[in-house]
Structure formats: C-alpha cells, structure tokens
Amino acid sequence: MSSMETYQHSDPMTGAVLDGRYRVDTLIATGGMSGVYRGLDLRLDRPVALKIMDSRYAGDEHFLTRFQREARAVARLKDPGLVAVYDQGGGDTRGCPAFLVMELVEGGTLRELLRERGPMPPHAVAAVLRPVLGGLAVAHRAGLVHRDIKPENVLISDDGEVKIADFGLVRAVAEAKITSTSVILGTAAYLSPEQVGTGDTDSRGDVYSIGILVYELLTGTTPFAGDTTLAVAYQRMDHDVTPPSSVIGGVPRQFDELVACATSRDPAARFADAAEMLEELDTVARELALPPFRVPAPRTSALHTSAMVPTPPPSLATENVDRPPNATPASRHTKAFQRDQLPAPEPEDEDEYQPLTGQFAGIELAEFYWARQRAKRMLLFWVVAVITLAGLAAAGAWTLGTNLPNLL
C-alpha cells in the first residue's frame, strides 16, 4: 500500500456519508479553514467536490448563519467562470461539520500550473483573466465580494475551462465568534490595503487582488516580500506595486498600466469592479492583437492524484463525522492573523516560481523568463564598448598631441 493510500485510509472523514447523501472519498487539499474532498452524490450518482469546514466552527451560530446565507447567494450565480455550488449542510448538534457541495472541476489549480510552467506570456495571461473577471463581474453585480482571490482558488479543467471558487467563506469566518476584530483574514500576498488596514472591502478589493494575480502570472512572483506574513501584508500600505516590466522583459506597456490601475493604493483610482477591468483587458487584447489561447490544466495536480486513490468503503455515520485532519498545507493558505502579532515566516518552496524548460503557448519559457537578464547583459556590453572606444580615442589624441612637435 502506498503512502498516499495509507494517509487517505487514516483520514477520519474518508468513507463518511454526509446528510445521508454525500459520500466522502479522497482528500484533495486542505487550507486554514477547511478540507476539500472528492466525493459522490449518492442520490444522483454524480461526482462532486466537498468542502468540509473545520470543526471549530461547529455550533457557532454567527458562522453558520453567514455560511448558509453566503452559500445560498453563491448558488444563485450562473456563469461559466464560477464553480457551481449545489448544496450546503451540516454544522448541527449531531457533530456533522458544516460543508459545501460544489461542482467537481477535473483538472488542477492555477498555482499548480504556475509551478509547472513558470511565468506566462501576455496572451496566456489574458486567457486566464477573461473567465475569472467574467465570473467575478456576475458576483459583483449581485453584491458579492470574493475577498480571497489567489492562484489556489482559480481552477483549470482538463477541457481548458477556467473557474474561480470559494466565494463567501472568508466573510462567513469573519463573523464567527472565534474571530476577533483585530484579526486580518485572507492570504497576505493578495490582500488589498484596506483589507489589511480596516478589514473592510468591496469589489475594488477584489480588483486589487486580481492586479496582484496578473503581476504574478507575468513575472512568476508576487510584488511584496517580508520576513513575516504580517510584514508582507503591511508592505502594500506604504508601497506601490512596481511595473511587471521592471522584473521581466517582454511585458507590454498596456499590461503595466492594467496592473497599476488595479493595484492603486487609493480604491477610488482602481477599476470600479471586475466588469470594468474586463472591458480594459479586452481593449488591451485588441491593441496588442493577442491570439486566442486554450489554458492547459496542470499535468500533475492534487485532484488528479486523488482520482488514483481507491474509493474506501463507507465506514462512518454522519453523526460520527469529526474535523478533517491537518494535512500538508499548500504554499499559500487563507489565514487569520493578528494585526498586533508577528507570526513566524512561512517556508518558501524554492522551486515554486522557477520556469521549466519547454514552451508555453509556443514561446520558450527560458527565453521569456530571462529576456530582461539578456537585455541587461547587452546594455553592459555596449557600455563597455563605448568606454573602450572612448579610451582608445583619448589615448590616440594624447599620443598625437605629444608627438606633434616632432612631426612638424
């Protein structure tokens, strides 16, 4: 038996049937607030994704009320760029944790694609952004804000569909009794300044996070760094996001301007919502004549791995379901951290942003990634050449001047 099978079989959630209908099969991923599992709707014989909340939220009326309200609101949204929500339940006195039943997107996450292929050329970035912004625009028109946009929450199907997931969970957690007013909720690298400062946000906060996402897709890294999670979050309070073209060559001016507008520290200077940013993206794509592109799913993903694990037999009744275990976390989880505390720094994956050899959309990744470095080397070459020629000319003039009396 493999280590993956051993781990899956030791998971107390595996094999459970939630609400007498949804069988929990294999763990896909865990985060700071929940675990996501591959599951099966036994009534409809339909594969589903089950997001099972941490048991610390069980019995919290504030959280459960908000959780149910947000689930209903998201379930009403219809757009190809949104992961569909089918059902919600749990959180009752029987010990069943709160859970969401969602569309199972067979493929992987944008984070996994970035790890495999590194930074993207502009037309690939546009292909990712269009469905994400389209889905967000539908949510923004309905008065919903995502609050936790990041590559882990963008899913790519094996058919090339791009969808955004996890609407409303951060807001529900923010209203839980276990959450104090001094807690910052979200993922530090993608938070807007107002989320860090006051915790308040609207559609323009999502726009800021999208701007950070665009920067990362183009460059392979996020714009702010720090020794701690909190330090990373506070960087955006006093510093603007630098143009992506200052990090990597080949980024068009229009994308620099798109990122600058989306990530303005003043919310009023940003795009008002996802729909407005999508209009500007379409304008940029026309100006640059960006070709259409089918976004590839990552070759190796947690979801693909979970599909290879044998489905265990049902073993637990709903009443006996307990919290999912703390499995190995992904690189960037949604976190709750105190504004007046400095948590320990998160370990960074050294290979997370390194591009692989090969091509992305017909462009050599190494060439794209190192374009700026080559430009620097060429500039240095010409500077040295000019200095050398100037030196030779000066030496020749000095020699001629010295020997001129003898020549005359």
Highest mean pLDDT among 11-15, 54-58, 328-332, 355-359: 11-15
Give the pLDDT score at 368.
43
Model confidence at 313: pLDDT above 50: yes
Q: What gap in Å lies between CA 400 and CA 388, rounded to an integer?
A: 18
CB atoms within 10 A of CB 274: 29
The predicted model scores a pTM of 0.74
Parallel, antiparallel, or unpaired: how do β-strands 34-41 and 46-53 relate?
antiparallel
Model confidence at 230: pLDDT above 90: no
Looking at residue 323, the DSSP 8-state letter turns out to be: P
Q: At what angle do helices 253-262 and 274-288 cross, to 10 degrees?
A: 170
CB of 49 closer than 8 Å to CB of 73: no
CA quadruple 123, 125, 131, 134: dihedral positive or negative? negative
Q: Which two tokens stand for residue 284?
A: 């940029």
CA quadruple 382, 385, 389, 395: dihedral positive or negative? positive
The pLDDT tens digits of the residues spanning 338-387 come to 445 444 444 434 333 333 344 544 445 444 444 444 544 555 555 556 56
CB atoms within 10 A of CB 225: 11
Q: What gap in Å lies between CA 143 and CA 404, rounded to an integer?
A: 85
Model confidence at 70: pLDDT above 50: yes
Give the pLDDT score at 398.
45
Give the pLDDT score at 370.
45
CB of 210 closer than 8 Å to CB of 241: no
Q: Of 60 and 354, which is predicted with more confidence?
A: 60
Give the pLDDT score at 97.
87
Model confidence at 220: pLDDT above 70: yes
Model confidence at 204: pLDDT above 70: yes
Q: What gap in Å lies between CA 337 and CA 35, rounded to an integer?
A: 19
Q: Identify the weakest region by mean pLDDT among 133-137, 216-220, 293-297, 403-407.
A: 403-407
DSSP H helices, 228-359, are: 229-238, 253-262, 274-288, 302-307
Q: How many CA atoms lie within 13 A of 150 on its CB side?
A: 23
Q: Identify the weakest region by mean pLDDT among 70-74, 75-79, 173-177.
A: 173-177
Nearest-5° Cα angle at 124, 331 to 118: 35
Q: What gap in Å lies between CA 201 and CA 217, rounded to an integer?
A: 24
pLDDT band at 202 (very low <50, low <70, confident <90, very high): very high
Provide mean pLDDT across the span 85-97: 82
Nearest-5° Cα angle at 17, 320 to 155: 120
Give the pLDDT score at 66.
82
Give the pLDDT score at 20.
92
pLDDT band at 8 (very low <50, low <70, confident <90, very high): very low
Q: Identify the weakest region by mean pLDDT among 53-62, 110-119, 141-150, 253-262.
A: 53-62
The pLDDT tens digits of the residues spanning 263-312 come to 999 999 999 999 999 999 999 999 999 999 999 999 888 777 766 666 55
Q: At what angle do helices 274-288 and 122-141 cross, to 10 degrees?
A: 150
Q: Identify the weakest region by mean pLDDT among 10-14, 42-46, 210-214.
A: 10-14
Average pLDDT, the chain: 78
CB of 192 closer than 8 Å to CB of 210: no
Cβ-in-10-Å burial (0-12, 13-18, 19+) of 403 comes to exposed
Q: Among this protein's residues, is 148 annotated catalytic?
A: yes
Q: Spell out the domains of the chain, with CATH numbers in brackets.
A: 108-312+329-360 (1.10.510.10)
Model confidence at 259: pLDDT above 90: yes
CB of 177 closer than 8 Å to CB of 217: no
Q: What gap in Å lies between CA 165 and CA 255, rounded to an integer?
A: 25
Q: What is the DSSP string of 25-61?
A: EEEEEE-SSEEEEEEEETTTTEEEEEEEE-GGGTT-H
Q: What gap in Å lies between CA 328 and CA 30, rounded to an integer?
A: 7
Q: Of 11, 54, 60, 148, which one is the catalytic site residue?
A: 148
Q: Scanning the structure block, which residue is given the tokens 């265990």?
A: 312
Q: Of 169 and 212, which is predicted with more confidence?
A: 212
Looking at residue 184, the DSSP 8-state letter turns out to be: E
CA quadruple 190, 239, 113, 77: dihedral positive or negative? positive
